[in-house]
Chain A
Amino acid sequence: GENVEQHPSTLSVQEGDSAVIKCTYSDSASNYFPWYKQELGKGPQLIIDIRSNVGEKKDQRIAVTLNKTAKHFSLHITETQPEDSAVYFCAASNILTGGGNKLTFGTGTQLKVEL
């Protein structure tokens, strides 16, 4: 099965700095890579995703890059703000034809943005 590793487990940055979280996956058949933000006591919220036919995707201050050859993908947050503080999870899956998206999650990164 798929195995997703995520680093670092904790990340502390100053407000306005950039934050980078990295993940590696094991199954070359995986073709969908979402990133989720989870605030304390809440469910995960999708912040950005990327598919295997794309190398990079950007949405305002958030970007994700994918290297299929190396089987790793990264989340980049620029101009960090205190409200970016949360736990971030990467995930990987092989989207099945006709539906069903069984995600394997990384271990999470606690991001703290300090004033």
Chain B
Amino acid sequence: GAVVSQHPSWVICKSGTSVKIECRSLDFQATTMFWYRQFPKQSLMLMATSNEGSKATYEQGVEKDKFLINHASLTLSTLTVTSAHPEDSSFYICSASTVAGWTGELFFGEGSRLTVL
């Protein structure tokens, strides 16, 4: 199957700093990428839908100024957690839909664990 890569896989930062997480589709082009957040032993909660070349669509309750999403190319979307606080500590996962031959299948990255001290 198609490969989605996330980087970094884990990051520790101080409270008040900003952290950027990258999501790349390695062997396919993705018009749409999704960002999820997952707390320990809980389900994946959709944060936002990222479309190449346009502004992201955020789910209700997700602060767009807090979680900046950029989808500048068909293979890269980034999530920046601005002015991070301990409550932002979580597992962030991206997924991507292919452009050509799209079958509905979503390919997920390996996730990025953020710990804010």
Contact = CB atoms under 8 A, between A and B. Distances in A.
Interface of A: 32, 34, 36, 41-46, 49, 51, 89, 93, 95, 99-108
Contacts of B51: 100
Given A34-B106, A99-B102, A100-B32, A42 B43 contact: no
B92 to A, nearest CB: 10
Contacts of B90: none
Given A49-B105, A105-B43, A99 B32 contact: yes
A95 B106 CA distance: 11
Given A46-B1, A105-B43, 13 more contacts: A32-B104, A34-B105, A46-B106, A51-B104, A99-B32, A99-B99, A100-B97, A101-B32, A101-B105, A101-B106, A103-B34, A106-B43, A107-B43
13 contacts: A41-B111, A42-B110, A43-B108, A45-B108, A89-B44, A99-B31, A99-B97, A100-B32, A100-B51, A103-B46, A103-B95, A106-B43, A107-B43
Interface string B30-67: 01101000000111111001010000000000000000
B111 A43 contact: yes
A105 B105 contact: no
Given A41-B111, A43-B93, A44-B44, A100 B49 contact: yes
Nearest to B36: A105
A49 B107 CA distance: 13
Nearest to B106: A101
B113 interface: yes
Contacts of B1: 46
B110 A43 contact: yes
Contacts of B113: 41
A43 B113 CA distance: 11
A107 B42 CA distance: 7
Contacts of A100: 32, 49, 51, 97
Contacts of A41: 111, 113
B102 to A, nearest CB: 5
